[in-house]
Amino acid sequence: MPLPRRALCGAIDIKDWSGRPVPEQIRAQQSLITVVHAACREADLPEEIVQTSGDGVLIMPPSDIDETAVLPNLVRGLSTALRQENRLLAEPARIRLRLALTNGVVSTGPTGFSGPAVIECFRLLDSPPVKEALVDHPAAELAVIVSDHLYNDVVRHGFRDMRPEDFWNVRSSMPERNFSANAWLWVSDRTGGASRRLSGTAERKRVEAARPPEEVAQARALANEGKHREALRTLETMTPSGDADRLALLDVMADCLIALGAYQEAANVLDEMLRIQHDPVPSTLLRLGRVHLRLGSVKIARHTFTYLVGSVPLAPEGYLELGRLERLAGNPEAARRHLAEAARLLKADGLVGTLVEELLELSTPSA
């Protein structure tokens, strides 16, 4: 009997598989195998490592793999293959997947794999957080849950195109199975995600749409004519009567300072706006990130854009800016991922977003 070994362990299943008619269950199984084999090829893993069972599969790579390469390639490959497979299927036949990943000791027995890592992997796969992730994020085709120790070993360090800031911490608890553990979640598309990520949207719209005071309206008109210094002098005469007036004043002031090249002063103004605003406003964060780029603070700019897409995932401009940063940093794979996300968010506006997404996938080198 083979000796126990340490290995990466992945388990995948299909959301709502048991509720499908039998013919659709069979088609869903076929789609699952298709996308898992494609993901293995992307991660340079042999297809023979896939062990099937009903609505799911167990992936058990060899022990000598480079987890820092296999993990990001496997997740990216699965997400891409799943998206491509679902494009070919009618709506009822499409599948959405949950993936659990961990590493640890595994053993090979007469009926397959066993051991602590396998048990942990399936506990994570069956835990409420990863199931709720697909409910909370209806546009996501894939939800991934990673054990805390695998996250700290690999994901946290940002190997390849993995972005640790795209994951969030959860507690996976199953008292009936005596299981409770910290873990980390990621979903392939946060569009239309959990309401907690978009709280205060109505308030933002109300503040942004409020009619500005007369002095602010005059300053905005001057700024639109390119008279930025005169616009600033107009704002100096204004005494705001509340947060809404103060925000309207600061909004014009920031634009004028940016146009005049006073980037540090503009950053200070935008920081003040963020302190007043109840929730993150995309236009404020975008300008702040771009100002930091002008100041040469690339790390702060990256953090600002990352915060934007994490807080307001419906803002394609944030992904566009991150894509540009990764391209300039010489990280084409990460750049394509961010730009593809921006393209998906633009799909609702017509053909352009779909076309851009297809072009990005066409330009992605094969494994």
48: pLDDT confidence band, cut at 50, 70 and 90? Answer: confident
pLDDT tens sequence across 61-111: 988 899 999 999 999 999 999 999 998 888 889 999 999 999 998 887 776
Mean pLDDT is lowest, of 31-35, 216-220, 296-300, 315-319, for 315-319
Output the pLDDT for position 318: 87
- pLDDT category of residue 242 using cuts at 50, 70 and 90: confident
CA separation (Å) from 211 to 125, 203, 225, 244? 50, 14, 20, 9
Q: Is the pLDDT reported for residue 32 higher than 70?
A: yes
pLDDT tens-digit map of 154-201: 998 888 878 888 899 888 888 888 888 899 999 998 876 654 333 334
| Dist CA 279 CA 285 (whole Å) | 11
Which CATH code fits 199-362?
Answer: 1.25.40.10
**Residue 355 above 70 pLDDT?**
no
Question: pLDDT class for 352, splitting at 50, 70, 90?
Answer: low
Mean pLDDT, range 139-144, rounded to an integer: 94
Is residue 349 pLDDT above 50, yes or no?
no
Q: Which amino acid is at 267?
A: A
pLDDT digits (tens, 9 = 90+) for 200-233: 343 344 444 445 688 888 999 999 999 999 999 9
Average pLDDT over residues 304-331: 84
Q: Tell me the mean pLDDT in the region 306-312.
A: 80
Q: What is the rounded distance in angstroms from the CA atom of residue 292 to the CA atom of residue 265? A: 11
Q: What is the pLDDT of residue 212?
A: 64
Q: Is the pLDDT of residue 33 over 90?
A: yes
CA gap 288, 243 in Å, rounded:
19
**Better-scored residue on pLDDT, 354 or 199:** 354
pLDDT of residue 345: 72
Model pLDDT, residue 65: 92
pTM over the 0.85 mark? no
- The segment with the largest mean pLDDT, out of 111-120, 129-138, 160-169, 334-343, is 129-138
Write down the mean pLDDT value for the chain. Answer: 84
Task: Name the strand (E) or helix (H) holding 21.
Answer: none
- The per-residue pLDDT for range 260-286, each reduced to its tens digit, is 999 999 999 998 998 888 777 888 999
CA–CA separation, 283 and 250 (whole Å): 13
- So where are the chain's domains? 5-189, 199-362
Q: Which CATH number fits domain 5-189: 3.20.20.70, 3.30.70.1230, 3.40.50.620, 3.40.50.300?
A: 3.30.70.1230
Phi, psi of 166 (to 5 degrees): -85, -10
Assign 53 to helix, strand or coil. strand
Phi, psi dihedral angles at 276 (to 5 degrees): -85, -40
Retrieve residue 55's tokens: 């609505």
Span of 34-48, 225-239, 305-319 with lowest mean pLDDT: 305-319
Q: Is the pLDDT of residue 47 over 90?
A: no
More confident residue, 247 or 354: 247
Q: Which amino acid is at 363?
A: S
Nearest residue to 123 via CA among 47, 13, 29:
13
Separation of alpha carbons 263 and 248, rounded Å:
19
Residue in the structure block whose two tokens are 């195109």: 161
